[in-house]
Chains A and B, each alone.
Chain A
Amino acid sequence: MDRIADIWGAPTPHARGTVWPVRVDQHLHEGVAEADVEQWVQSACLLCSNGCGVDIAVKDGRMVGVRGRAGDVVNHGRLGPKGLYGSTPWASAPDRLTRPLVRDGDRLVETDWETAMGRVVQESKRLLDKAGPLTHAFYTSGQLFLEEYFALATIGKAGLGTPHMDGNTRLCTATAAAAMKESFGADGQPGSYTDIEHCDAIFLYGHNMAETQTVLWSRVLDRTRGDDPPRVVCVDPRRTPVAREAERTGGVHLAPKVGTNLALVNCLAREVFANGWVDEEWVAAHTLGREELWETVSSYDPERVAGICGVDADDLRRAARIFGESGAVLSTVLQGFYQSHQATASSVAVNNLHLLRGMIGRPGCGILQMNGQPTAQNNRECGADGDLPGFRNWDNPKHIDELARLWNVDPLTIPHWAPPTHAMEIFDHAEAGSIEWLWVSATNPAVSMPESGRIRRILAQESLFVVVQDLFLTETAQLADVVLPAAGWGEKTGTFTNVNRTVHLSEDAVRPPGEARSDLEIFLMYARAMGFTDKDGAPLAAWETPEEVFDAWREASRGRPVDYSGLTYAMLRGGSGIPWPVNESAPHGTDRLYADAQFPSDTEVCETYGHDLLTGAEVTEEEHRAMAPGGRAFLKGAEYSAPHEEPSDEYPLLYTTGRTAYQFHTRTKTGRARSLQKAAPAAWVELSVDDARQLGVAEGDVVRVESPRGSIEVPARVGEVMPGAVFAPFHYGSWEPEQGATAGAGPGQANELTMAVWDPVSKQPYFKTAACRVTKVRDGAGPSPAPTTTASRPAADAGTAGRRSVPQTAGGDATSSTLVDDPPRFPLDPAQDGDH
């Protein structure tokens, strides 16, 4: 089966309340037959946040393919196109980094580990002597393993004592965490994927699940195409496959103007109040803030909001009615909310809807505040981003004392005068010259951060010593002073956790190439070389193996909402992934949080005292204590405000960025997989039929898109984006297959145009609210390279603007799919409760 042409694979529709059928998807490299595979090694997929259980095929010491794990609770055997085609080819790519590199003038030259790490340590010690730890910063990833984040957090917070540590998780998942902290008191996904089997409506907010989590979407399709299907409601400015499914199921597609999400969700809340759909008894018992929320949302009637959002008032009413009258609703939220104006307030507003109806903690009534990356969750848990390990509250001295005891360091060593510095602020300090040492691991900020031209200038600054640890010589690595070659997925062992708290063990299947080492080994090598010690003089982070770090983490998490204390490598070997908390009261894991409607909101327990959603101002401990939350959830509202940059005469269009199903991030892995790269080989922008006509642009014509910050020149797809908006995929930097990356921008690098503005609470940058203008540069030589199978498909009614016929996206290598008639037992699945 060609899984480029068929993204979601063969359907397996089934009725409400029954177990999702099992279908095992498999792909082996060309020329490798199943009988040739010498070993299958257990892991989970690392190419989106869904966390599908996978086995890695090994032959002659190389990874040669993957198959889904039939008994895994997450995917029931399935894999998506990225997982199938993209998981393994990068590992044997000829341009893998195999030796450390150090800067020699304008060149990077190969060296040995001793020399490379020697430079890192020498510079580190020099700066510590000169001005202390605030000169040091770390910018890490959403793609390392749990053990690596916990080691890094230990080094940064207990060893060096710098508050400057964040991950690219800031770009993808910070708002998910922030929204859950504001509503429930701490991070932790309330819902479960099993809610899909039990709901009668699914609301997707700014979440093009059909492309971002393709396997999860096939799980949804198996409900919407089966008996007793749920209705789908889609909030998205593009006519995505999700939007089309909303129309097909009798739901609603709401396409709000970019930047107006909060007004829209406030309207839904207003309708829930006004129509008496609030579960008053539940709300009185389990929440705080009902009256204040009503005061905030009462003026958002459908007519007013229709004007703000540019949607039909009756569509708003219909969507609200579906929410208000369904017995079980699953809501999911992603980048359309997280990377857009008033991100945290809008995502919290989704939580409010569920709290108002008491729809949380039982099958079918889930909230999935999604993640963008496969291990983003672990970064939030372990505190290598803007959080502290174990969902601890930086503002609570008792929580800091707990960490100090765990690490056996003075509490004053652990920076806790403010939250850890967020990514945008780290680059700000580097630009100003007060951060002089930056260690980037497993991410590519020169392409992926907003206003990427500025980011590259900062990385190139003479005053900044940059260490980059990666698989390849990325655009960012080109600007480094030291480049450290890392082992990747399948070349190292560790655990990671997906969106719905499911922990997987990923075993090393093959040896890393050349002198490449695991990220964990590299971090621990630095810790040893620096000689970090605890307060008794014993070495800090003195771990040898990933399992030792995992066991230390289990202790760090004990008793916290994110409790791993009862989980071991042994439990994770052989079976399915296991969702936390795993402890004495839940020895086999937990499918769904808050079944008892007890939230981690108590002042002693919570991860944050909360924020003013409009300004980001902190709520103080005294204020929090005075509210006496005592396990109740917060209903928190905020007023809609206009976006920071609105279209003008000079820049009349809205610019928004996003993803395609076939590429991941800056294509470091997916761009090296032939089937995927061919499906979405180069950048494009999408224009609506109206705008294309007005600009005199036809399908494939090359256009220049400019914002006040930069420009790109790319072919145009005349597509299904809403009139007035321009969509650009963010995957494309300067790297090209066979040619490698340069230190400059790619011609289609979407972030050259985006703005450095961020949400006041989550500090997540807004990639989806900028203004731009489009001009035609020249006629195209053919259709644009945008895929036709996704939200970027050509407009059906493009008329003359779409006069070039566009070939269907297809041509993926062969894969197989096998239905399993006698499925294994899925632990914790409520559809199997009968025989539990």
Chain B
Amino acid sequence: MPRLATYVGLVDHAEQVLAESLRTVAEAQAKHPDIHFMCETLAKMSDAHREELAPVVERYGEDDASEPERLHAAGLGEARTGPLGLLRDLQDLHVLAHLVLSSWTVIRQGAQGLRDRELLEVAEASAAETRRQIAWLQTRMKVAAPQALIVSP
């Protein structure tokens, strides 16, 4: 199952990148308490997914992707500034979260094929929460967009 192990490594890494990027935005947006606190809350969700996944990673072995530079997503690095910067940051997080979600979808398919109940449950529960992360990012972007695009100084 080397390829599934690769994907388990991939989702683990993607969740880590998402959590780090959420924390980067949280830190940069201390002046926007809703974004600050919610990004922290969402980052904790990703942490928890990784914890749930840890026993599976142990079972399959930590087969790090053989071509990490082509499979792994880059994180946010540093947060942008200003209303437009915030909008772009939220969009980047949205893209990252979608990578996480589609990775869980792929893993779920593999887990079904292998009848691996533990992995199946982790994949389904994590994907459900990833959808919550995406829904919040979507909601927040919709609210922020007009002001940022039209009148922000």
Contact = CB atoms under 8 A, between A and B. Distances in A.
A615 B142 contact: no
Contacts of A429: 147
Contact of B153 (A434, A619, A756): A434
A134 interface: yes
B91 interface: no
B152 A434 contact: yes
A617 B139 contact: yes
B135 A614 contact: no
Classify chain A's interface size.
20 to 34
Given A132-B150, A135-B151, A757-B37, 17 more contacts: A134-B146, A163-B146, A415-B146, A418-B146, A421-B143, A428-B32, A432-B83, A432-B152, A433-B152, A435-B151, A612-B136, A614-B41, A615-B133, A617-B136, A618-B135, A757-B33, A760-B34
10 contacts: A131-B151, A134-B146, A418-B143, A425-B143, A429-B147, A614-B41, A615-B38, A615-B135, A617-B135, A756-B33
B132 A612 contact: yes
Interface residues of B, number: 23
Interface in A605-620: 612, 614-619
A414 to B, nearest CB: 13
Contacts of B135: 612, 615, 617-619
B42 interface: yes
Given A612-B136, A614-B41, A615-B132, A131 B142 contact: no
B138 interface: yes
B62 to A, nearest CB: 31
Contact of A758 (B34, B136, B142): B34
B45 to A, nearest CB: 9
A457 interface: no
Nearest to A425: B143
Nearest to A433: B153
Interface in A411-456: 415, 417-419, 421, 425, 428-429, 432-435
A444 to B, nearest CB: 22
A433 B83 CA distance: 11
Contacts of B132: 612, 614-615, 617
Contacts of A425: 143
A342 to B, nearest CB: 11
A131 B150 contact: yes
A432 B144 CA distance: 13
A755 interface: yes
Contacts of A641: 41
Contacts of A135: 151
Interface string B112-140: 00000000000000000000110110110
Contacts of B42: 615
Pairs of residues from A and B, 9 with the lowest C-beta to C-beta distance, nearest first: A617-B135, A617-B136, A615-B136, A434-B151, A433-B153, A757-B33, A418-B143, A134-B151, A618-B139
Contact of B38 (A415, A428, A760): A760
A644 interface: yes
Contacts of B83: 432, 434
Contacts of B33: 644, 755-758
B37 A644 contact: yes
B139 A434 contact: no
A415 B142 CA distance: 12
Contacts of A428: 32
Interface in A595-628: 612, 614-619
A484 to B, nearest CB: 25
Most chain B C-beta atoms within 10 Å of own C-beta, residue among A434, A435, A615, A760: A615
